[in-house]
Structure 1
Amino acid sequence: MQASVFFEALDIVGESIIWSGDEHALYWVDIGGKRIHRLEVKTARHDTWPTPDFPTSIGMRRSGGFIVGLTREVCLWQPDGKFGVFAIPEPDMPANRLNEGRVAPDGSFWVSTMQNNLNADGTPKQMDTNTGAVYRIDPSGTITRLTANAYGITNTMAWTRDNRFLFADTLANEIYSFAYDPQAKTISDRRTIVSSFERGLPDGSCIDANDHLWNCRVVGGAAVARFSAEGELTDLVELPVSWPTSCTFGGDDLSTLYVTSARFTMTPEHLSAHPLEGSLLAISTGFRGIKEPKFGC
């Protein structure tokens, strides 16, 4: 498998990429750039929308439009429209911000938090504690905390067919598997399935139709690693960018892996020598992804 640059997005932190089969288009956010992208893969039409705060995640809604995580608020949004506040997972933890977010198979929206590592101008802010947690937001707006506030940089959300929930802590360099109860809407029995993998650190992921996790290896990892649901490395795809951040399967048969990347914290000298950082990549995998769920309202 070989990766190629599909679109030179120049994202500060490209994240949370999803595939809209209805539109044959990709959507993703640029956290540091405070914008949402839309790219039609066949026509190359590219649109962006500014966001009022740092956008951290995006998911599609069944009724049309999107659910979007900002710095602290989860909003409902239509392109060219306003961001309407829908839920605030941690109103009493002002030092935290939202990070990963994804629509779950049951149509709820799961978001995770972390200690805020961004200053108001988008520059890095030092972290000194692990205060991140995972939350489930029901289409009614009900918020349920699923874990303790015990994680560093929260990343990766995927659900297997046998009801395991896969999740990662970037700072710990670990990927976890939880038992997921779709009736009780809870997770339990955390097991570490990947630890101290030597290529960078775990960032965003997606899952394929064989329940294998495709995990972006950020902070110099320059690769996407494919792990079984038990944590066995089965493939490693080298990338022409050093900070891949998030990925999704798209295309007519959901066999192309699209990967976002970041330029965050990189020096002008590094960017001059590596101008593709922050690009969107495409990989023909020979594997198939699964259809992206939509939020149930």
Structure 2
Amino acid sequence: MAALRSDWLVCHVVLRGGGYKADINESSAEKQAREDIRQGLLSFAVPVKHHPDKFVVGCGTNILIIKWDSSTHAGSCRHYFLKSPHQPPHDPLPEGNRVSFGTVDSSEKLWFATTNDNPEYSTLNLGSVYYLDQNTILEKKISALPSVTGGFVGDHTFTEGSEHSPPDRIYYADTLNHEIIGYDVTIEHGSLFLERREVVFNFLQHGVRGSPGRIAIDTGGSLWVPLLGGGGVIEFNPIQQRVVQFIRIPAAQVGACTFGGHNWETLYVSTIRYEFKEPHGQRPPRDKGGHLYAIHGLGVRGVPTSEYILNKRVLFEAFAFLDNYRPNYRRRRDSTVRGSSGEGNSGTL
């Protein structure tokens, strides 16, 4: 197990990892990036298909497209507003809610969740999961989740097929209730539905200390669960409902897991500096929170990450701003190009 210092955005280090998760460690570079973007905390980054220098990121309450060369250490980057789950006056986000985990499914669509940072609302069910398609049409798929939401993964990823495809499954990390919950995924008449099935893993019942962070899944269907407050990562078999192994990490707060590296055989684990979660607490002796760890030799492979595909007109509008050029295509009269404080229209060529 190797350790890397996460002095700046974790997504820079594990850009080839599953889920492209960016864990929040409040490093100096992250503060700089937050000040430059002025949108809030960075939560995730996913690649845009066929455009290696473009990423869709969750930032504060917004979904943005950024232009970023991962080979350079840039303190800021150009960004373009894409969408927001904050939809006043009909569906505004509750006070304190922001975008949290995000990932791309096998049909190359974006899924993301919201979480709430206000400790006074921790007992309320203010979390939601959203679905954003290629045309930036936003749908709320799960609502009334606990206010602090963890990550979610698909078992062999989401699938699309016939009108009545067999149910697939996603696993959601319920951080506040110390559980992992399974949802069935079905497609009927072209519409996708999620239905809660069962609690597949309860930390207390299994004698596991801590809460689940952002989970990962391997090609065999095992879940790799970071333990917030538990000082490690567990491999959990959701079919057999048993803990296969525990990997100790020298940090109390283990925030996220993602697969990457050659053949997706390396598990990257990000940790959080103790003071980030406990501003008035004392760092435990020899706590190494704030580092990123790479774990080799597990004998498993992670599920490869999908890239987000966007409608061509959406891309043209965004790239016109990000790259300072005007694409050579006939624009509709009602289309607009808006930059850092605006929203681009979507359409079909």
- TM-score class normalised by the smaller sequence: 0.7 to 0.9
Q: Which residue of 1 aligns with 2:265?
A: 255
C-alpha displacement of 1:147: 1.1
Secondary structure of the structure 2 residue equivalent to 1:56: strand
Q: Which residue of 1 aligns with 2:60?
A: 71
Q: Which residue of 2 aligns with 1:290?
A: 303
Secondary structure of the structure 2 residue equivalent to 1:253: helix
Alignment of 1:176-195 (within 5 A): 176-181=181-186, 183-195=190-202
Is 1:113 aligned to 2:114, yes or no?
yes
Within the candidate set 86, 89, 92, 1:90 is matched to 86
C-alpha displacement of 1:16: 11
Q: Deviations along 1:104-145, whole A, 9 cap, x unmatched?
A: 22111111112233xxxxxx7763422101111112111111
CA 1:208–1:133: 2 relative to 1, 3 Å: same
In 1, Cα distance between equivalents of 2:225 and 2:121: 25
Within the candidate set 48, 52, 56, 2:43 is matched to 56
Identity across aligned pairs (percent)?
A: 21
Mean Cα displacement is larger for which, 89-98 or 254-263?
A: 89-98
Q: Which residue of 1 aligns with 2:22?
A: 28
CA contact (8 A) 2:132 2:138 kept: yes
Within the candidate set 210, 221, 235, 1:226 is matched to 235
C-alpha displacement of 1:254: 1.4
Q: Deviations along 1:219-244, whole A, 9 cap, x unmatched?
A: x2111111123332112111111111
Letter in 2 for 1:287: V
In 1, Cα distance between equivalents of 2:123 and 2:222: 33
In 2, Cα distance between equivalents of 1:262 and 1:75: 24
CA 1:87–1:270: 2 relative to 1, 3 Å: same
CA contact (8 A) 2:123 2:146 kept: no
Larger radius of gyration: 2
User: What's the Cα RMSD here?
Assistant: 2.9
In 1, Cα distance between equivalents of 2:178 and 2:254: 15
CA 1:257–1:174: 2 relative to 1, 3 Å: same
- Give ranges in structure 2 of 5+ residues lacking alignment: 69-75, 157-166, 311-349
In 1, Cα distance between equivalents of 2:294 and 2:64: 29
Alignment of 1:96-175 (within 5 A): 96-117=97-118, 127-161=122-156, 163-175=168-180
C-alpha displacement of 1:34: 8.0
CA 1:133–1:272: 2 relative to 1, 3 Å: closer
CA 1:272–1:164: 2 relative to 1, 3 Å: closer
Letter in 2 for 1:141: T
In 1, Cα distance between equivalents of 2:130 and 2:247: 31
In 1, Cα distance between equivalents of 2:123 and 2:247: 33
Q: Which residue of 1 aligns with 2:5?
A: 8
Judging by fraction of residues, say which structure has more strand.
Answer: 1
CA contact (8 A) 2:22 2:42 kept: no
In 2, Cα distance between equivalents of 1:10 and 1:244: 16
- Give ranges in structure 1 of 5+ residues lacking alignment: 37-47, 118-123
C-alpha displacement of 1:75: 0.9
Within the candidate set 245, 254, 265, 2:277 is matched to 265
Letter in 2 for 1:55: L
TM-score of the two chains, using structure 1 as the length reference: 0.81
C-alpha displacement of 1:267: 5.2
Q: Which residue of 1 aligns with 2:313?
A: none
Is 1:235 aligned to 2:245, yes or no?
yes
Is 1:277 aligned to 2:289, yes or no?
yes
CA 1:35–1:62: 2 relative to 1, 3 Å: farther
In 1, Cα distance between equivalents of 2:26 and 2:138: 26
In 2, Cα distance between equivalents of 1:17 and 1:229: 29
CA 1:192–1:210: 2 relative to 1, 3 Å: same
CA contact (8 A) 1:160 1:211 kept: yes
CA 1:133–1:194: 2 relative to 1, 3 Å: same
CA contact (8 A) 1:17 1:27 kept: no
Letter in 1 for 2:238: A
C-alpha displacement of 1:49: 5.0
In 2, Cα distance between equivalents of 1:170 and 1:189: 16
CA 1:287–1:228: 2 relative to 1, 3 Å: same
Letter in 2 for 1:224: V
Q: Deviations along 1:215-273, whole A, 9 cap, x unmatched?
A: 1111x211111112333211211111111111111111211111111121345874484
